[in-house]
Structures are given as C-alpha cells and as structure tokens.
Amino acid sequence: MITRSELSVQTISDFGCWQEQLAGAITSPEQLLTMLQLSPELLSPALKACQEFPLRVPHAYINRMELGNANDPLLRQVLPVGEECEHIEGFGLDPLAEQSQNPTDGVIHKYHGRLLLIVSGACAVNCRFCFRRHFPYQDNRLDRDSWNSAMEYIRSDTSIKEVILSGGDPLATSDRRLEKIAAELNHIDHVETLRIHSRLPIVIPDRVTDDLINWFARQRLQPVMVIHANHANEIDDSVREAMFRLKQAGVTLLNQAVLLKGINDSASALIQLGEALFKAGVLPYYLHLLDPVHGAAHFDIPEVKATRLLKEVMANCPGYLVPKLVREIPGRLGKTWIS
C-alpha cells in the first residue's frame, strides 16, 4: 500500500516527459483505488461505469489527491461511479447538438466569427462530466482530405476571425503537427487569433514545453490559451510554473470551469479557485452550468443555486476574479449568460 510520503516523492519529473506521462496514465479503477488507499467497495460500480466511458488519469494529477479520501475534489472528477449508468430524462448523447453544426469533418461552427477544429480525439484525463464523452471522434479525424476541406472552409468565410483548437485535447497532439496547423492558419489573412482549449497544462504541466511556447507565442496570430481547472487543489507549483512561462511569452491565459456538485459548489471553493488562478497569472473566464450529457447528471447544480453562489463570490472578490456564469444552449449564437 502506498503512503502519502511515498507518493509525494514521485515528483513530476519522475514521471518522465509529457508523452511518457500521457502514455502511462492510469486506466484501471483497481489500480487507482489501491494507489489512493480507497475502499474496494468502490471498484464494482467503477468497473460498470467504465464500460460506457473508460477511466484515464495521469500520475501527475493523482499526485495531488488526498490518500484515503473518496470525496477528494480531484478524484471525484475522474473516478467512475454507478450513477453514470442511470438514464436521466433530459440528459443525452449530444447535449449541445454539435453533430448538426459539423459542416465538414473536424470542424464545429456554432458561433459567428469563430470555429473549432477538432485536432485530436485523445485526452490526458477522462473527466466524468465531459460533454463530448459520446462525440464521434472517429468520424472527425483531420486526415489529409478533411484537413484540406477544413482549411478551404475557413478561407471561404471571411467572418472567421478566430480559430479554436479543441478536441479531445489538442495538446495531446505533437508540437510538430500543431506548428504546421498554426503555420497554415497564419496564411489566412482574416484569421487574427489562435485559441487553444486544453486540460493538459493542468493534469500534465510538463506539456508546456519550449517547443510549444516557441510555435504558439511567436507567430502572427494572437495566442490565447484557455485552461480547464475546477478546483484550487489542481493548481500546484508545477502548474504555476507552466502558466508563468506561457504568460512571459505573451500568451493570454484564461480559465473555464464547470460548476460541479460535491466538487466546487460552494462560494468558498469558487473564491479559492479564482485566487489560485490569479496567483498563477490566469484570469477566471467562464463558469459553466453542466451540459446535460448522459452519465453526468449527478454533478448537476440548479440554476437558482448557481446564481446565489455567484452573488456571494461577487460580494467577496474583485470583479476580475469573478467568472461569467453561463449555460450553452443549442442553436443560440453564443453562450447564454446567467445574470
């Protein structure tokens, strides 16, 4: 049985380069429960839930969890549970109707002026609340033909000012491939901003390499990175170092979080998250109400409670530490702000 002292000596560098950490992520519920000294009673429901959506979590992220605590806020984001198998009315496979906004393979175009490129279907961590947990990534691979179609689609629509690299997680792809994507976008005059949405700098901070910074920050397009952190415990020294390096290179850093029952559904948790982000050079951006995806209903928070929490955060924080509370509604031309 692993003790906290034994676990803590496994520093991030001990896990190898980011590619090795990605490949070596824990996929066995039994192994995860053993590492964290948790009850074997959690295993059976975890195995059942894994049949619908596999477990995947890197060692560097596990290293921030508390031993023996089944309610650890990081663990609850990744541990499969029996509630995921329940069929709840209103929670479906395509909660944002993205498959109807998929004009060509690898492209999701929902909002005016910007679109998403599905660069990778892979993730470093399988968050149990992921709204794309049922997304048909196999039908949206950017092979040579679909890549040419995607670029032609962007060239033909001069209203597109921003391209967002998404997934899966776009940073699960090599820097060489990402640099080629950025280079081609650089030649499309009406594209002005390149945004990356990624959880990798949180769960594997070593993903922020010199190569990443070089291609992302040193180009014509304005670089923006939106990270995904939901709890202050996710932001340790290794994450802060990675964020500082990006910020020093001129990358605009924002965070989007999801409001999750039992994880960050208190004003104190949201305030601590905002403060931890700011100390890392990141501004809170969005706080999302849960997208109604099948398997995640047990995380849902009523809108009335969410607004009450945000009012309390606003009363105790400067405005720049208060994220916008939003819900995404299919067919709308942008996020719906909850006032």
For the stretch 310-327, pLDDT in tens is 999 999 999 999 999 999
Rounded mean pLDDT of 214-242? 97
CB 98 within 8 A of CB 130: no
60 vs 206: CA distance, rounded Å: 9
Helix (H) or strand (E) holding 256: strand 252-258
77 vs 55: CA distance, rounded Å: 11
Helix (H) or strand (E) holding 153: helix 144-156
> What are the CA-CA distances from residue 191 to residues 114, 206, 252, 314 (Å)?
9, 29, 17, 35
Predicted confidence band of residue 195 (pLDDT cuts 50, 70, 90): very high
| Sign for the pseudo-dihedral over CA of 30, 32, 36, 42 | negative
Which SS3 state, helix, strand or coil, does residue 91 take? coil
117 vs 105: CA distance, rounded Å: 9
82 vs 167: CA distance, rounded Å: 26
Mean pLDDT score of the chain: 91
Residues written for the chain: 339
Rounded mean pLDDT of 65-77? 98
**271 pLDDT exceeds 60?**
yes
Partnered with residue 118 across adjacent β-strands are 166
Neighbours of 140 (CB within 10 A): 23
203 vs 201: CA distance, rounded Å: 6
Tens-place pLDDT, residues 77-95: 999 999 999 999 988 877 6
Tens-place pLDDT, residues 142-155: 777 788 999 999 99
325 vs 303: CA distance, rounded Å: 10
Which SS3 state, helix, strand or coil, does residue 16 take? coil
